[in-house]
Amino acid sequence: MPHSSTPRAPKLKNAQPFTRKVLAWYARAGRDLPWRRTRDPYRVLVSEFMLQQTQVSRVREYYPRFLARFPDLETLAQAKPRAVREAWDGLGYYARARNLHELAKCVTRRHDGTLPDEAQELVELPGVGPYTAGAVASFAYEKPVPAVDTNVARVLRRVFFGSRLPSPASRDIWRLAAGLVPKNGKRAWRFNQAVMELGALICVARKPRCPECPVRTTCKTGRRIRA
């Protein structure tokens, strides 16, 4: 059942300007990260597992090493658990490595070694939650689906709900994101990356940098702050 106070994207006056501004900003300020240069599902998946609890700078260091050792899903599926753990060493949270390894075996067994392209199927795999499922569907397969991580949730909450209390439920943010995400897959890819990047670089958790934010005029929170 829809939440009675859920803002619906088509009715939100600031939805289109927000999308336009965040995309324009991303085109000039988005970081050139290795996993943004690929649409290879396995490579996107590995980056998403690593980024779950590790900072971008550290993932940048470990990502190419891991891929050099396990260049594809099949190689990873056939690896010994110890080898996977060794390659993950230094990233911490080893449950992710175990899940990734299990996932590789599961996809090899059940899906002929090809990662599914639908979020509903991806979310059934080991270690894959709603965000990772959306991220792989969008970033690898360019599906027009939302991918809401903590950065995206924070940005959308501040822009579209302001400081309204109580804070919107996660399902409301997902519904909002689903309404905002462009229908064109390539544009959806950029939109998801852009909102995430805004949350990582400008709309940060503790002290959002509103005066320099590209979407400030469309943001319920930022509009109240003097530039």
Positions annotated as catalytic residues are 48
Which of 154, 134, 153 has the alpha carbon at shortest distance from 145? 134
CB half-sphere exposure, 85, CA atoms < 13 A: 6
CB of 19 to ligand SF4, least distance (A): 13
Burial 144-160 (b: 16+ CB within 10 A, else e): bbbbbbebbbbbbbbbb
CB of 96 to ligand SF4, least distance (A): 29
Q: Measured from the CB atom, is 50 or 159 closer to ligand SF4?
A: 159
Please identify which residue in the block is written with the tokens 């319920």.
220
Q: Measured from the CB atom, is 87 or 153 closer to ligand SF4?
A: 153
CB of 203 to ligand SF4, least distance (A): 3
Q: Which residue is nearest to ligand SF4 (CB)?
A: 222
CA distance 136 to 200: 19
Q: Measured from the CB atom, is 97 or 215 closer to ligand SF4?
A: 215
Which of 33, 105, 28 has the alpha carbon at shortest distance from 63? 33
Which of 98, 47, 38, 108 has the alpha carbon at shortest distance from 75? 108
Q: Measured from the CB atom, is 109 or 209 closer to ligand SF4?
A: 209
CB of 210 to ligand SF4, least distance (A): 3
CB of 136 to ligand SF4, least distance (A): 26
Q: Measured from the CB atom, is 44 or 153 closer to ligand SF4?
A: 153
The gap between the terminal CA atoms of the chain, to the nearest Å, is 39
Long-range CB pairs of 67-74 (<8 Å, 24+ gap) are 67/43, 72/42, 73/42, 73/104, 73/107, 73/108, 73/113, 73/115, 74/104, 74/108, 74/113
Site of interaction with ligand SF4 (CB under 6 A): 155, 158-159, 202-203, 208-210, 213, 215-216, 219, 221-222
